[in-house]
């Protein structure tokens, strides 16, 4: 049974484009990882100010392997990700809450 992880990220006002750029810069890292199924970065609209990072994994074990991997560490470390001169960017997030779910039902158009 697949598992879904949703990371609710709180950022300062006006920092959305910077957060989106950081995710775009490392988007391909996770899709090559064993057990990865889906990723979505959700921009807040009405009634919500947090960004949501949605990932779906084949199992909890696959997610934990990603969390403990060097790829995860590289993608989330300050100063990584090809910044000119090796300058360490300041973190964009002010806080994050990780939520976990098991997929009970999944409907895909045309299936």
pLDDT in tens, 42-68: 999 998 999 999 999 999 999 999 999
For residue 109, report the phi and psi dihedrals to the nearest 5 degrees. -55, 135
E strand intervals along 11-111: 36-42, 51-57, 95-102
4-22 in b/e form (b: 16+ CB < 10 A) is bbbbbbebeeeeeeebeeb
- Contact present, 100 and 53 (Cβ < 8 Å): no
pLDDT for res 81: 44
- Predicted pLDDT at 40: 94
Domains of the chain: 3-102 (3.30.70.100)
Q: pLDDT by residue (tens digit) across 61-89?
A: 999 999 998 877 776 665 444 444 455 56
How large a percentage of the chain has pLDDT more than 90? 57
pLDDT of 37 over the 80 cut:
yes
Could you tell me the two tokens for 14?
């006006």
Per-residue tokens: 29: 């890292």
């Amino acid at each position: 049974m697949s598992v879904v992880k949703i990371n609710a990220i709180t950022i300062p006002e006006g920092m959305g484009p910077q957060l989106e750029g950081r995710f775009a810069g490392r988007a391909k890292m996770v899709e090559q990882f064993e057990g990865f199924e889906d990723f979505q970065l959700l921009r807040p609209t009405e009634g919500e100010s947090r960004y949501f990072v949605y990932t779906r994994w084949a199992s909890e074990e696959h997610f934990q392997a990603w969390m403990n991997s060097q790829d995860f560490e590289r993608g989330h470390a300050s100063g990584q990700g090809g910044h000119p001169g090796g300058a360490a960017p300041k973190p964009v997030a002010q806080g994050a809450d990780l939520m976990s779910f098991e997929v009970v039902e999944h409907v895909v158009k045309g299936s």
